[in-house]
Structure 1
């Protein structure tokens, strides 16, 4: 299919000669004598590109360009004029014209300009398609009430410039929420730069965030751009924000307030224009109380708080998530897609998922690889999932409230330990008991 070109000019000789030349070059040509006619043709014929004369009776080329861009922002327009000047060129460019060519027209220049404009439009369409696919890939899956509420929050805050603080347990998908907000924001064409605050050593975090000049650090033979510099005009995602030291928190707060910083070892002041999205799995208000997080930084970041629900609160979404992960695993491993038996799916739905969506994804991927049959059954599930129903039944079969309470506490602690990577100190802090108490329960329930 040949690209269609709309030529808009009030001079019949221009329409005739240019139409003939472009037809010979393989384009489909449509013509219009004035701006009003051009707008009607665009609505009915949907051309791929417009060659638009500036000086015409009725509405001139500039006014016609304004009207075209109102409803056809992606349609490339090349201005042709015999009265070209800097002011006209600047005005046309600001209104969205792709290029401006002066009369008398050089056909070679016209062809180059047309091909450049069509190539640019094709790239824009590809980018829009890829962005749409990226948004779909990073979309939050699920139909449960908590997820619907989460999607509504994201849709509301994403188009704004507001800073966001995402809270939620490990594995709930906080980074996915951050990426979705960025992809739906006005800054989507600029980068989103991740900063894992828990993974960067204290001695290097200033260099990571603000960059350094050549020779500023031991062994640094080149200049390095920091995360804030790379994220300029885009989004910076400060993950695990609560794991930064108080010293680093103070430095971050200063940059967020002043929007200025210097590279390590540098004297030049750099400015930054970033949207900040932060995330944490900790209770920041409790961290403030115990002196490990700055209150002023908390209020700076906590403009729009978003809570990501744990998987146990959105069990209705587990079947859909399992299907997505099975499809992804099949595509990744280039194997036939496996299915879950109804009994296996029922057990997955009733499990409490201390590791949340990440735990479910990892399990499905492992089962897709390790199970040789087409259908994954209850027998293929790990013991801690398939035995869960039995464990609950045993709790209800215990005679005596005190014995039942002790058994429940032991099971509860076991699940919380699993959620905190078997770290006794972290688990104790999370559930509000002494580490000694957890150790005593572990000892009492061995064997």
Structure 2
């Protein structure tokens, strides 16, 4: 490291971490992104954190730098500039905690640098399923573009169709030695089937990836592939037994102190275990999915934990995904085994009550009564009842789904409801849905 460009002192990061834990600073899974401009921040001897949408952790060794995660594509140049302002050492190794695009898209500038300087390009290390994920992503880039635009309200987003593949893959565990650094990599399934946990025993530093994100864990995402809540809980319990004194998460602030780390990990494990057990117990008792999803309750002593708020995922979604994992896609309702097309059902109901406008008007009545779920169903039925959606129907649909955005807590729910509202606003204003999303976000 050059003495004139030494990283920020540890005190700043400690204060940030303390304010996150104590509640004096709002914390979410993505809350550290605004903090990146003043990073990297020293965590321990030879260890730095670059907080961003997806955090990057930097280890300085005598053989070069090791990066644990590399961030998202739009931050790649900022990450490169931040590291190069700190040191001219080459990046020797980059570890992917998993294959999500906010963790794996920052290697290109360092590859390009290697091509011009003649040093070897970074060695990328990942669990072997990451490569399978990348091949699936390449196949489904169009679908994932639509999902991310809807989920995050980002009409400008385009999902990548090219990825920096791993150079070194492992199955269950791998020990990396880089100069004086020894890092253990351990594979567990949780949010993904390709996740890596990093453990530096000499410094008792735990790198959790997205097993811990300063929000309720997200094995319930309704728009993504299968996730593994029970194994996630088991992984958290295993991590809690390591005795870590520093926890560096994939998102959000670090945690310092063995007792805090153990509490955070075990609380999160208990949260997940409770939802899994509730779901499986209901399945074993013969209950259908609707009954199980409508009867859960997060344990009272976990509801107010700052790191377990449903700001990204929701407990109900987790229940539904556990059902999908162990029980398949059918929810137990015989009428939904081979349902009629939505438009046909909506047209029949509209004819029964008079017309689509009657469905829309009833949606607004339900909205005024606070019956948000029923209001959403009737508003959507009104929209589906005819190929020619009327202005009155779209106005009702816009009002219903805009209100659902307001009352929802999670990114996932807000994204889906906002997109539905934007569809109606786009028709009403004669604009495309992307412009309508931007308008709605500006109003929130």
TM-score interval for Structure 1 and Structure 2 normalised by the shorter chain: under 0.3
TM-score, with length taken from structure 1: 0.27
TM-score, with length taken from structure 2: 0.27
Structure exhibiting the larger radius of gyration computed from Cα positions: 1
